[in-house]
Structure 1
Amino acid sequence: MSEQNVSEQEKEATGMSTPSNGNGGPLEGAVVAVAGAAGAAGRAVLLRLAEAGATVVASDADAARLAEAVDAARYAHGGATVTGETVDLLDLDGTRAWADRTEKEFGRIDGLIHLVGGWRGSATFAETDLADWELLEKLLIRTVQHTSLAFEGALTRSGRGRYVLVSAAGASKPTAGNAAYAASKAAAEAWTLALADSFRKAGGEGEPPAAATVMVVKALVHDAMRAERPNAKFAGFTDVKDLAQAIAGVWEKPAHEVNGTRQWLTPQP
């Protein structure tokens, strides 16, 4: 029997508990992990998820910036449960241990938001440095492989699990100087859609037990960027607050409507 079908009396009798921020938001009781949470997008996502009532479990390789992001989300939403942990997502065993600790502590995991990023490029195709590929393969592909493998089981057990990858429009329309970046993003998308197919097959003829989706942006923009470049138009860019809102919205639809989709937050090329 999955936890979401267990009565409150049964939970008390068995010692099970539902995480709660107590604000009655749409994600009240949900536990959501956020990988790569220390950047501007991560901060916006932590804030939005906490506002929606979720218990948020954040990770990043930068301990100082992660602590600032976690504190900001806590202070913005009094009573919100937001935790942070430095995790090496290039270590599969370490990533699995993070997932296991999270599920053991909170009793469930309802989402993994993958925000780990990085960019390298060149002026021309001929000037592409394959060292850029070696770096981006780790940041943009290997981390996706590890989080998806580590969290797949818990997301399936949740009954409403969501895996969200934030990708880039360049994966669909690569430019000459972005070969390594676009290829890395395209591979990460393919991997995520393979996870989606796994969820689809697990559901058989019925509803998938979880959903994996890709959110596509051209690039992200936030208030500090606008302050630094007040005359810039940032055409086609997605505000981090809008990204966070779209992420929080993936639980509003049934799994089959989310699973295996590429959601465009910028005009599709």
Structure 2
Amino acid sequence: MPSLNKGTVTLVGAGPGDPDLLTIKGLKAIQKAHVILYDALINPVLLEHNPHADKIFVGKRRGFVKKSQAEINALIVLYASRGLDVIRLKGGDPLVFGRACEELEAAKEAGIPTAVVAGIASYSGIAAQHQIPLTKRAEHESFWVVTGHIRSGKMSDDIALAAQSTATVIVLMGMRFLPDIVNTFKQYKQGNHPVAVIQNGTTKAERSLVADLDTIIEQVDQHHIENPAILIFGLAANDPISHYKNLVQREAITL
């Protein structure tokens, strides 16, 4: 039974989609929760780990918002203030492009104890599944993770900075601006610069393709690759050791 004191708020990373990629600590947090507020991108199988908790969908996708961020913050505080242990279940890792700061701030301002359970981020989980080496000694020795768009709704200026580097560049939430992102990369890279796109990574609905800057837009349109998807730019996308599952097209050449 919940105590008469304030409850707790724990942000839990659900991982990239495969339910087996939930951490043990995340599983334990879900199992002891009284209330679970969950996102659109989490695998619903994870909710079965706690059949007794109240489950509230608060997902946001482009063109559809079930709850505003202010409403989500208010729900977190409301339930925790009743002495309940609240889990905010978020896709990937909660501290990577997940608006976790706003939710933690709301709880802290209400005097509610908080915790964060790390999750396997989408880019690392998807790269591992396809054996994509995000870094490789003497070839591409770092990687950038960039959001495709910022709060204003415009493409992130960091795309241009990343495109100038020799690093592997992973773009999350970038499909909306794919033509603009590709054109930005073309200012600094050759047309045969490899690009991979993975939709619904690590799930049964996953689809992937590998192309280059000159052909990626056409291939995405032809094969109807849509959100949620990640983009990977650079030699890593077409590395000889990579092994893409559910591959619909592979056209890129090794530079």
TM-score by length of 2: 0.35
The structure that is helix-richer by fraction is 1
Structure 1 or 2, whichever has the larger Rg, is 2
Return the structure number with greater strand share: 2
